[in-house]
Structure 1
Amino acid sequence: MADTFTYEIKERIAVLSQSSKGWTKEFNLVSWNEKDPKYDIREWSPDGNKMGKGITLTDEEAAVLKKALMAREDL
């Protein structure tokens, strides 16, 4: 039996890049299965109906990532 899930993009924060086929890598706030929203980075099809594999981050994980990025002198 296939796993089913629901999602709702609560906030579109940024488009990080776009492929030649129109897919966009996005940084969004997404609620998965009606749970509290998490930060999410993944690719989306041009029509927004398909998604690639991605990564979700809790508020705490996003804060650690932000701190690490801010500490980089080359960014």
Structure 2
Amino acid sequence: MADFKFEIVKNIAVLSENAKGWTKEFNLVSWNERPAKYDIREWSPDHKMMGKGVTLTEEEVGLIIKGLNENK
């Protein structure tokens, strides 16, 4: 697997924590020095390892918020 770089630009929210201390987080993350995107995934306590996740653009997050607001 090729090396890649990441930087958590902003921690937005911790959504949950499992028994091993890994946290599911909603963050703004820059991947390979590209513009940051919104990201939901599990992180190890030191943020050096991560699980599979979902990366979203600002537009996609806006559509999720809109959909949630319309279905209250």
Compute the TM-score of the two structures, normalised by the length of structure 2: 0.94
Matched, 1:55 2:49: no
For the aligned residue pairs, the C-alpha RMSD in angstroms reads 0.8
Structure 2 residues not aligned, in runs of 5+: none
Matches within 5 A, 1:1-75: 2-73=1-72
For residues 72 and 17 of structure 1, what CA distance do their matches in structure 2 show?
Answer: 24
Structure 1 residues not aligned, in runs of 5+: none
State the Cα deviation string for residues 11-61 of structure 1 (Å, max 9, x = none): 000000001111000000000000010000000011211100000000111
Question: How many residues of Structure 1 are paired with residues of Structure 2 in the alignment?
Answer: 72
Give the 4+ runs in structure 1 shifted more than 3 A. Answer: none
Compute the TM-score of the two structures, normalised by the length of structure 1: 0.90
Letter in 2 for 1:7: F
